[in-house]
Amino acid sequence: MPDVSEPLTALAEEIRVAAWELAVEVVDEGLREDAVPSLQRLGQVGQVGDMPTFIVELSKELAEPQPGRMRRGGPLAGLVRDHAREREALGFAPREIVTELLVLRRVLWRFVSSRAPGLTGSEVLEAERRLNDSLDQLVAECVVAYFDRATAELADQARRDPLTELLNHAAFGVGVEEELGRARRYERGLTLVYVDVDAFKSINDELGHPEGDRVLRRVAALLTESLRGSDLAGRLGGDEFAVCLIESDLETGGRFLARLHDLVDEEAASGRLPEGFALSAGLASYPHDAVSSDALFRLADERLYEAKRAKTSG
């Protein structure tokens, strides 16, 4: 095959220089065909997004194909995933994201065809092959990115309590087991906190189940607000919640509960929680109190009910 490197390098440079104009053409053509959502509210820069960067990276692939660019983690593969996330956030459906890439293929091919008189037949064919191979892989990467994200979202939904969006009982148990393993390996502490709404049945009976659900969602939000990003929170069922404080001890657990009780008092005082609303809690710490997850769960549960009994007997 004749050496086509020099003519294609020159063609790639023309594409690089024209990247902005080509990106605008992609957007305009997509809008004319009603193939993509209108983004006029964003102005031209917002409509074009990272398309010029895409085109510049494609020009590099045209000039000098490198498989690493297209592999996961490579510049083009990473760029298409970022592009897909950006477009999805702007309201593009997955089909429209792929359609935009197909419009890009047409626009680039028209550009190459307009330069065809200065290229040999073999150079035109090689340019077509390189661009098509790159764009085919980009479309495939875009589809994979969407399904990876959709699968991850579905997996996360399966781990969540539908009412509060905290971890469900099973997922919380798995998370505690994993964190306990890390605590053993790195010789760190861990604290398990059980939390229960006092007199929750009365809230449901007197204020109604919708209000009871709202209260549970508010408690979940307060728990999340009180935690660090690395900690875990779950709803075990009914009005029972649990928290796993990573790299902590009983003193850390005590500070967490003090923050939580202060937040609850503020919420009740402002009317966002029912008057007189209160929580009870029980703590158990690794390795001070127990070394297995079962023992930690059991001890935290026992201490929770000791706290509830102390309130009723007092």
CA-closest candidate to residue 130, choices 2, 12, 20: 12
Mean pLDDT of 282-310: 93
In a domain, 307, yes or no: yes
User: What is the total count of domains within the chain?
Assistant: 2
Q: How far apart are CA 73 and CA 85, in angstroms?
A: 16
Query: In the listed set 158, 192, 208, which residue is the last one of a domain according to the structure?
Result: 158
- Which among 161, 196, 231, 239 is annotated as catalytic? 239
Residues 34 and 135 reside in one and the same domain: yes
Lowest mean pLDDT among 110-114, 245-249, 300-304: 110-114
In a domain, 275, yes or no: yes
90, 83 Cβ separation under 8 angstroms: no
Q: How far apart are CA 79 and CA 70, in angstroms?
A: 10
In terms of C-beta density within 10 A (0-12 exposed, 13-18 middle, 19 or more buried), how is residue 115 classed?
middle
User: Whose structure tokens read 């939000």?
Assistant: 221
List, for residues 139-176, the tens digit of each pLDDT value. Answer: 777 777 667 666 766 777 888 998 999 999 999 999 99
Q: How far apart are CA 189 and CA 253, in angstroms?
A: 11
Residues 176 and 150 reside in one and the same domain: no
Q: What is the largest CA-CA distance in the chain?
A: 95
Residues 93 and 207 reside in one and the same domain: no
Q: Give the CATH number, domain containing residue 37.
A: 1.10.490.10
Domain boundaries, position 282: 169-313
CA-closest candidate to residue 292, choices 168, 173, 171: 173
Query: In the listed set 128, 158, 188, which residue is the last one of a domain according to the structure?
Result: 158
Is-catalytic flag, 239?
yes
List, for residues 100-115, the tens digit of each pLDDT value. Answer: 888 888 898 888 888 8
Of 1 and 32, more confident = 32
